[in-house]
Structure 1
Amino acid sequence: MSSGLGFRPSDLSFFSRKFVSPINHRENVRLPFTPLRKMNPEQPMRWGSGCCLVVAAKRPPIDGVPAELNKIASQKLDSAPARRRVRSAFIEIQQQLDHCLFKMAPAGINTEEWYECNSRGLNIFCKRWFPEPDVHIKGAVCFCHGYGGTCTFFFDGTARHIAASGYAVYAMDYPGFGLSEGLHGYIPSFDQLVDDVIEQYKKFKGRPELKGLPHFILGQSMGGAITLKIHLKEPNLWDGLVLVAPMCKIADDVKPPDHVLKVLSLMSNVMPKAKLLPNVDFDELALRETKKRKLAVYNVISYEDRMRVKTAMELLKATDDIEKQLEKVSSPLMILHGAADKVTDPKISQFLYEKASSKDKTLKLYEDSFHCILEGEPDERIFTVLNDIIHWLDSRCSST
């Protein structure tokens, strides 16, 4: 977005200030979610009187990738088994990409991947990173990924660097995202998603290897909203929160008017899974370095189709709920944001910093940096951000 927490203008809008039928009007849209990648142009299928049903976008071929792998990557990813097949086909290529997170990944990090069935009967993908056996573990860090992210790919490199500094790092893919079970990109209830994360991370915290250690939660973009909701639900669950470009408030100048919200709410009840909202190319807004921007297409299991109607409504409701409770944020808090971020507004992070009642709070703004400060910046800036996070964690561990 250009101002506030939302998005860059797109061709199709459900959120115009001047109300027109949300299905056939074309204007601007701004919604709170992390960047999606460029897709092939979509041709809507017409039905009824002037309305349109949008078909799913097709993933363009990845340059330099064999035809058989591109064929695998282009399959429909609504189900978890399909996403798992695609990830298996690309994992070796991903690990060899020319990105500092992969090329300079510390050696000796022990990783483990597994699935756990949660209380709702959903198989949740989990992963952990441990430092070498002779390294003293200072604390545990649990990660909440963004809307367009997963707990694999780029974060695998981030986690390895944090683990090498003496931390046990744990992560999960939310239901409907990454390798976890559920309809791809579908959030029927943000509060339920938060409860799913709380349930899983309580299991992690109870593991014997973490007994007596301080526990931190790291949330990026939409994961920042999840992190804040977790804290608001259970204020004493964590020893500190680290928020990277968090989605925590919709700026007043881009918030949809009440009558548009009513229409969106109605549509979310009638056709909750429909992909009717615009797909937006955020590569240039989210990742500053062109070279790194080109590597984002290799995150082949991220959700990059049009946002589902119910998902959009749930994100709007979540940010509205968080905004009303920012004064209740009381945990030790670190907020990091690119000063040139046009996806989530750094001014909103400043607003959170000022409103939070935390006695221990830190705000770091990085000049000229975009949204993906842990993935899309020059190498030096990426490691500056990583080192800032690790230094903050270290200082809280020594005083815990």
Structure 2
Amino acid sequence: MGKPLKFEGVSEELHKIVDADMDQVWPRRRAREAFKDIQLSIDHILFKMPCDGLTMTEICSQSYEVNSRGLEIFSKSWLPDGSSPKAVICFCHGYGDTCTFFFEGMWLTMRIARKLASCGYGVFAMDYPGFGLSEGLHGYIPKFDRIVDDVIEHYSKVKENPNLRTLPSFLFGESMGGAVALKVHLKQPDAWNGAVLVAPMCKIADDMVPPWLVTQILIGVSNWLPKRKLVPQKDLAELAFRDLNKRKQASYNVVAYKHKPRLRTAVELLRTTQEIEQQLDKVSLPLLILHGKDDKVTDPSVSKALYEKASSTDKTLNLYDDAYHALLQGETDDTILRVFGDIISWLDKHC
């Protein structure tokens, strides 16, 4: 189990809710509902930026939809009010994460998704099975391609909407979501008008991978105990968030997966990055790649390799001095605003 979370000014009852076993989806949904008012107090630049002309809508009844595998998927959308969107942006979140914290944020203030919508874009997001508020064993990826297929299924339905069908569509992937976005593109090479990849997981940083012998043992054991939380892991918040105050705020993402990786999950992530690294030359869509030069979670050198090897004729690589992994959540306010501005500028040029 992870360490119990402690928040100042929070009742013992709320602490029990957020410290509960969240392997299954109902405790996660309960924790998110119970804790959202506390999250309103977070002092983060993403929650301060003003927005106008925005209608937030839920995808499908009560924000949930049962997919073809029988799993209830949580999803949300944000649309500019009173006008047709410039384009459709489909978000792929990172490992352990959810679309209900920094991406969605809280109800009354500004977030990544709502900022994109206020700039004229239709934004769509979902929690993968086993993550956030979607059904499935928390943090468990039995097969990475299943996530990719779930994402394709969900966003294909989004793009079939008569009001959106003729619009340009872009993938937006953060960290592991970058790997998801690239694999979606490789399965649908002509379906997307571009991709924004923020610190994409094309390769896990060498310091994050256990020694070779330990890795081989874990791979073998994963065949027998795939769901066990046994993979050694460093403090991801410390590695990903450069700003100390924002690092503390990451704990407020109470439905994030914070335990040691499950054996099969870790094996699938490693296998997927090795597979992607061998297929960089097959990437052909317009690309905006953004990576911190001091990222210790995903390897920025492979983002450089993606930029160099991709067959795309339209590609941009932005590397940020001194920046860590969480470019849009864990950096100084100036860096976050700069990265966000680079994303909006690129999208505007491609619409």
TM-score (norm 1): 0.82
Q: Which moved more, 1:307-316 or 1:200-209?
A: 200-209
Deviation at 1:109, TM superposition (A): 2.3
Distance 1:68 1:108 in 2: 38
**Alignment partner, residue 64 of structure 1:** 9
Q: Identify if the C-alpha distance between structure 1 residues 366 and 192 changes in structure 2 by more than 3 Å, giving closer, same or farther.
A: same
Alignment of 1:247-396 (within 5 A): 247-250=201-204, 260-396=214-350
**Alignment partner, residue 17 of structure 1:** none
1:186-216 CA-partner distances (Å, limit 9, x unpaired): 0000011111111111011111221210000
Distance 1:259 1:96 in 2: 45
**Alignment partner, residue 140 of structure 1:** 88
Amino acid at match of 2:74: F
Structure 1 segments of 4 or more deviating over 3 A? Answer: 250-262
**Alignment partner, residue 73 of structure 2:** 124
Distance 1:79 1:270 in 2: 21
Deviation at 1:105, TM superposition (A): 4.2
CA contact (8 A) 1:96 1:103 kept: no
SS at match of 1:209: coil
Q: Paired residues, what number?
A: 341
**Alignment partner, residue 181 of structure 2:** 227
1:43-97 CA-partner distances (Å, limit 9, x unpaired): xxxxxxxxxxxxx224231233222211111111011111000000111222332
TM-score (norm 2): 0.93
Amino acid at match of 2:120: G
CA contact (8 A) 1:250 1:320 kept: no
SS at match of 2:51: coil
Q: Which moved more, 1:174-183 or 1:333-342?
A: 333-342
Q: Does 1:150 align with 2:98?
A: yes
Q: Which moved more, 1:255-264 or 1:108-117?
A: 255-264
Distance 1:324 1:298 in 2: 37
Question: Pairwise CA RMSD of aligned residues?
Answer: 1.7
**Alignment partner, residue 34 of structure 1:** none
**Alignment partner, residue 204 of structure 1:** 158
CA contact (8 A) 2:204 2:298 kept: no
Amino acid at match of 1:161: K
Q: Does 1:99 align with 2:44?
A: yes
- Structure 1 segments unaligned to the other structure (5+ residues): 1-55
Q: Sequence identity, in percent?
A: 57
Deviation at 1:294, TM superposition (A): 1.4
CA contact (8 A) 1:339 1:366 kept: yes
Distance 1:290 1:137 in 2: 36
1:319-343 CA-partner distances (Å, limit 9, x unpaired): 1111111100000011001122111
Which protein, 1 or 2, shows the higher relative CO under an 8 Å CA cutoff with sep ≥ 6? 1
Deviation at 1:251, TM superposition (A): 6.3
Distance 1:323 1:236 in 2: 21
SS at match of 1:154: coil
- Structure 2 segments unaligned to the other structure (5+ residues): 105-110
CA contact (8 A) 1:105 1:160 kept: no
Q: Identify if the C-alpha distance between structure 1 residues 95 and 206 changes in structure 2 by more than 3 Å, giving closer, same or farther.
A: farther
- Higher-Rg structure is 1
Distance 1:365 1:104 in 2: 24
SS at match of 1:155: coil
